[in-house]
Amino acid sequence: MAHPTSEHQIFAYGSNMHLPDLRRWLEEHGENPDGILRSEPATLRGWRIAWNYFSRKRNGGAANIVRAIGHILPGVVVSVDRPTLEAIDYKEGHPQYYDRGKRRLRVRLASGTDILAWTYIARREHWQRELVQPRRAYLDLLIEAARSHKLDPDHIAALEATPTVD
């Protein structure tokens, strides 16, 4: 499971799965989008998506994850260089809002290989007790990314069924 220190894996389950949007964000913030090296569908065992985080930037809910025994969360492992990891840290508000912690989580690539990947999780003090509905444009990014990466159809259906504020 060793990877060169210049390459980092991120398990994305929200908007970072949408590589064109991530590249656009990097360019708009003066970062090199070529720091996104590759991507592959993956799953994270024991977690599920949660709509319990309000994003001021998006003016609506943003995807988060919570522990959930028996669940398998589909997503995408995005391999990036160090400057891109640091740029995504900034994008995610690490460590104040979303935190990737000090330990990577074990994820399974579509190829069947288990790897360790950084995973951004909203800090508990920012969680809301009630459902925080996302904006339609944000949810559409997730749905489009899930389809383009051919993630589990049940996961795509669950995203499509998520209520939005607009």
- Expressed in angstroms, the distance from the first to the final Cα of the chain is 43
Give the start-end residues of each E strand in 7-94.
7-12, 36-55, 60-81
Q: Which CATH number fits domain 7-159: 3.90.550.10, 3.40.50.2000, 3.30.70.120, 3.10.490.10?
A: 3.10.490.10
Q: How many CB atoms lie under 10 A from the CB of residue 57? A: 10
Tokens of 79: 């391999």
| Alpha carbons 110 and 36: distance in angstroms, whole number | 19
- Exposure b/e, 23-35, CB count within 10 A at least 16 = b: bebbeeeebebeb
Residues 6+ apart with CB under 8 A from 120: 10, 16, 88, 92, 94, 98, 99, 100
| Alpha carbons 84 and 79: distance in angstroms, whole number | 9
- Look up the pTM and report it: 0.94
Residues 6+ apart with CB under 8 A from 155: 73, 74, 146
| Alpha carbons 1 and 114: distance in angstroms, whole number | 7
What is the full per-residue pLDDT of the chain (166 aa) written as tens digits? 444 458 999 999 999 999 999 999 999 999 999 999 999 999 999 999 999 999 999 999 999 999 999 999 999 999 999 999 999 999 999 999 999 999 999 999 999 999 999 999 999 999 999 999 999 999 999 999 999 999 999 999 999 999 999 9
Annotated domain spans of the chain: 7-159
